């Protein structure tokens, strides 16, 4: 069974009970047997401590400065002002470590930009579902993805995929909500668009939804992503993979549905 651990008010699914992403376009397995539970929890605790200790980060830190960058990521997520998605939660999901010592990492700035935009859609899913969503997996760093047998073209590497659990509901209900929201137009608020613009300015990014990164299935035209200083929007359409305990969702720009 999955172990839920409360870290400074954060619910972390430290040990997934089922493999993650065994879909036709993912072909991977992130199983409980592959993870080091103790090390993952220790890393999550360090993330939470760093966020509390560092407080506000006013200059864009290097992604290699894990404490400062983790705090920056958490602050960006919180700046979206999403009622049910917290920065600590998003940071802690990336604290996993394999039994062979390979650590996952937070996405680079271009991946963070993508993730921030997609979390606005995830809040819509949460609103329609009416129960909490728990993230099982978001971004996967290249070495970590390889260590757990992940597909080289996984959408998780490109930071367009999120695996989520509907707490108190079922994967079927979550998948049905996702299907009902397919091709939904997502309009960010002015404040949310400014968060994306700030990340782009901090790290010299162009619009981050412009191309496939690792050859993963992706259609820029299908998403229709646009971003300006005070405006950003896109059409959410992508893959929906329903598994025994979670639902994989990715913004590939073309529709795909499967069962795992």
Encoding tokens for residue 125? 């899913």
Structure confidence by residue, pLDDT tens digits, 161-175: 999 999 999 999 999
Structure confidence by residue, pLDDT tens digits, 194-227: 999 999 999 999 878 888 888 888 888 899 999 9
pTM score: 0.83
Under a CB-based contact definition with an 8 Å cutoff, are residues 183 and 87 in contact? Answer: no
Structure confidence by residue, pLDDT tens digits, 42-75: 666 666 666 556 565 667 899 999 888 999 999 9
Under a CB-based contact definition with an 8 Å cutoff, are residues 166 and 205 in contact? Answer: no
Under a CB-based contact definition with an 8 Å cutoff, are residues 210 and 227 in contact? Answer: no
String of DSSP letters for 131-188? S-EEEEE----HHHHHHTT--TT-TTTTT-EEEEEETTS-HHHHHHHHHHTTTEEEE-
Query: What does the domain layout of the chain look like in residue ranges?
Result: 16-259
pLDDT at position 140: 95
Share of the chain above pLDDT 70, in %: 78
């Amino acid at each position: 069974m999955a172990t839920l651990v409360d870290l400074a008010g954060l619910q972390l699914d430290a040990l997934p009970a089922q493999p993650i992403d065994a879909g036709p376009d993912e072909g991977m397995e992130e199983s409980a047997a592959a993870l080091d539970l103790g090390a993952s929890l220790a890393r999550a605790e360090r993330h939470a401590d760093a966020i509390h200790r560092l407080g506000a980060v006013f200059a864009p830190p290097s992604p290699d400065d894990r404490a400062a960058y983790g705090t920056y990521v958490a602050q960006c997520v919180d700046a979206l002002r999403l009622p049910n998605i917290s920065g600590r939660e998003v940071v802690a999901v990336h604290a996993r470590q394999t039994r062979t010592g390979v650590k996952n990492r937070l996405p680079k700035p271009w991946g963070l930009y993508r993730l921030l935009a997609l979390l606005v859609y995830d809040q819509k899913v949460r609103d329609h579902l009416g129960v909490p969503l728990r993230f099982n997996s978001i971004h996967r760093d290249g070495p970590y993805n390889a260590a757990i047998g992940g597909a080289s073209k996984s959408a998780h590497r490109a930071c367009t995929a999120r695996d989520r659990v509907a707490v108190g509901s079922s994967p079927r209900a979550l998948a049905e909500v996702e299907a009902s929201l397919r091709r939904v137009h997502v309009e960010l608020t002015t404040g949310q668009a400014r968060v994306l613009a700030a990340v782009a300015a901090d790290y010299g990014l162009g619009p981050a939804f412009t191309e496939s990164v690792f050859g993963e299935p992706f259609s820029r035209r299908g998403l229709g992503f646009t971003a300006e200083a005070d405006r950003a929007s896109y059409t959410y359409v992508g893959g929906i993979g329903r598994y025994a305990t979670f639902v994989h969702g990715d913004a590939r720009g073309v529709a795909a549905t499967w069962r795992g």
